[in-house]
């Protein structure tokens, strides 16, 4: 239960940070969501840093990793987990699954948004 609470709290902090950054920076450019873009890139940097420190063994505890990587980065951006998982496939040399997963995640994700909007419009 303690681990679930750590993820919950980290996710809450990450979500609030994402909200303020996106709200502040997205209006700067008309057709480019600068805040969202920066959140995604920073989230990728942070999850790499946190998981790298965790892998060293004595720098971040399991609970700290749950709070920071799973919780904070998960709330801040799910793109960070997506990017880390793709890195794992590349590291293993699995280019076929990397390509399939990358293309299908983005393509089907966009289609799912379109479908959700269409369903909402027709209810």
- 14 labelled as ligand-binding? no
* Spatial contact of 10 and 74, defined as CB atoms under 8 Å apart: yes
- 74 labelled as ligand-binding? yes
Integer Cα distance of 115 and 121 in angstroms: 10
Tell me the binding residues for Na(+).
Answer: 74, 77
Tell me the binding residues.
Answer: 74, 77
């Amino acid at each position: 239960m303690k681990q679930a609470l750590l993820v919950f709290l980290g996710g809450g902090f990450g979500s609030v940070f994402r909200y303020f950054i996106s709200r502040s920076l997205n209006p700067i450019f008309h057709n480019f969501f600068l805040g969202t873009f920066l959140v995604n890139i920073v989230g990728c940097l942070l999850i790499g840093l946190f998981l790298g420190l965790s892998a060293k063994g004595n720098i971040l505890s399991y609970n700290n990793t749950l709070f920071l990587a799973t919780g904070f980065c998960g709330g801040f951006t799910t793109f960070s987990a997506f990017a880390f998982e793709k890195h794992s496939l590349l590291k293993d040399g699995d280019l076929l699954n990397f390509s399939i997963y990358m293309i299908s995640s983005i393509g089907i994700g966009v289609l799912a948004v379109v479908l959700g909007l269409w369903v909402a419009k027709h209810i």
